[in-house]
Amino acid sequence: MPEGDTVWRTANTLRDALDGKVLTVCDVRVPRYATVDFSGHRVQAVHSVGKHLAVEVAHHVIHSHLKMEGAWHVYRPGTRWRRPAYQARIVLATDDRVAVGFELGVVEILDTLEEAVGYLGPDLLGPCWDAALAVANLAADPSRPIGLALLDQRNLAGLGNVYRNEICFVRGVDPRTPVREVDLAPMVDLSYRSIVANKDRNARTFTGDLRAGRHFWVYGRDGKPCRRCGTAVRFGLLGDDPTEERQIYWCPRCQPPVGVTAAQ
């Protein structure tokens, strides 16, 4: 699933294409909203909140979420689309641009964006980022594994699985460690600094090395030697229940388990 930095860049691309311009086409290919047509209305704003995208037009909000397969593309009129038309869930066009949302996990028309994102914690890339609130949110469930707490968008919005694994490694914390055993303020600070550093990069890096195959400390490197100590990187699954498990990667030497039970 695209993480907050990817969605932030997508919002910038859509903003350049749509913000302040009059829509000439508004084709919402979702049955519930098939009759919605904002053609002739000027786009008032385009922005992201965590992993959510919003296009404000005609005093409504077109809310979308990429989920796993979604993407927004922007084309010049008449340009061939890079994905098949049957995957398009919404088309928004102006005189000089065509924005197409392909395979979006969510497309809905709302009166306010708050309806979609009101539950979110502070947005790491938002104008009102609040580190203290993020720390308090994480601390509210002390027995939860930190690797799950960091992914919970109610605590802080924008982190995904890559960030979760890399941040835990840099902080020397096993992702299965209970929140109560973690120094949360530095963890939140690193989360913020990492996503801000990567927000303008098409290929994010956590090691500081931009060469191919050198971007990550542990993510996707199961069985390979740790870049710090040479110990084989471990792989596992972590989730609140079996249907929500996602991959975790860690170095058992650089990230010693603290308070990790056998069940985890």
Summarize pLDDT for 184-200 with one digit per residue, the tens.
999 999 999 999 999 99
pTM (2 decimals)?
Answer: 0.92
Mean of the per-residue pLDDT values of the chain: 95
* 3-state DSSP percent of the chain in helix, strand and coil, to 5: 25, 25, 50
> Where does the pLDDT of residue 255 fall: very low under 50, low under 70, confident under 90, or very high at 90 and above?
very high
Residue 227 token pair: 């870049």
Asked if pLDDT for residue 83 goes beyond 60, the answer is yes
Nearest C-alpha neighbor of 58 from the set 36, 77, 74? 36
Q: Is 5 exposed, middle or buried (0-12, 13-18, 19+ CB in 10 A)?
A: buried
CA dihedral sign, ordered 228, 125, 9, 197: negative
Residues noted as catalytic: 2-3, 51, 246
Using pLDDT thresholds of 50, 70 and 90, give the confidence band for residue 1: low
b/e 182-200 (16+ beta carbons within 10 angstroms → b): bebeebbebbbebbeebbe
